[in-house]
Amino acid sequence: MKPLSTMNNLVSRGLVALFACTAALMTGCAVAPSTPASMTPDTIVTAKQSPKTTSVTATGGKGVATDAAMADAVTAAIEKNKTFSKVIQGAGADYQLTVTLMSLDMPSFGASFTCKTEMAWALKRADGSAAWQEVIKSQGTAGAGEAFVGTERAKMAIERSIRENISQGLSAVSKQNL
């Protein structure tokens, strides 16, 4: 009887270990921060390209979407789509563009994840006066077939939502009389 009891004990321990590993994979392993490239839109529908310069600041970054990565993604999108003639680091730009991540709303569990993002966009002239501001809402979804691990799907949904927000934000900026 002892060998059967020992076998059952080993099987039980194995199942517990299997469930623990599965739970770790599906729910909460640490995920590396997003790269700017993963949050940069390929193309933006622009009404016009401004001959002016801007500096870019991002705040409110959370989790995988850091302030630096968001600022770099906005900068890359401006440079790629020529929303402004140039992005200047620091002082000396004609405008200051500030993008603030206000909220990331996402379910904590599921086969597919849809992230809803709200970002405040503010464009100020060099003298500090407001040129334009708007709160933009966007969303991005990552399906069950796109990544096995739930945290990776969540990261993909966040990146897509921020990428869409950047696209909408810079499109709105391009409609302003600058």
Q: CA-CA distance, 33 to 57, in Å (whole number)?
A: 18
Determine the pLDDT at residue 97. Answer: 98
For residue 148, the model assigns a pLDDT of 67
Kindly give the interhelix angle for 150-174 and 67-81, rounded to the nearest 10 degrees. 50
Helix 150-174, helix 2-27: angle, nearest 10: 0
pLDDT of the residue at 146: 64
pLDDT at 20: 34
Cβ-contact 133, 123 below 8 angstroms: yes
* pTM for this model (two decimals): 0.79
Give me 81's structure tokens: 């789509």
pLDDT at 18 exceeding the cut of 60? no
* pLDDT per position as a tens digit, 25-76: 344 445 678 899 999 999 899 999 999 999 999 999 988 899 999 999 999 9
Q: Which range has highest mean pLDDT (45-49, 154-158, 170-174)?
A: 170-174
Q: pLDDT (tens digit, 9 = 90+) per residue, 97-154?
A: 999 999 988 766 667 889 999 999 999 999 999 999 999 999 998 877 666 666 788 8
What's the pLDDT at 27? 42
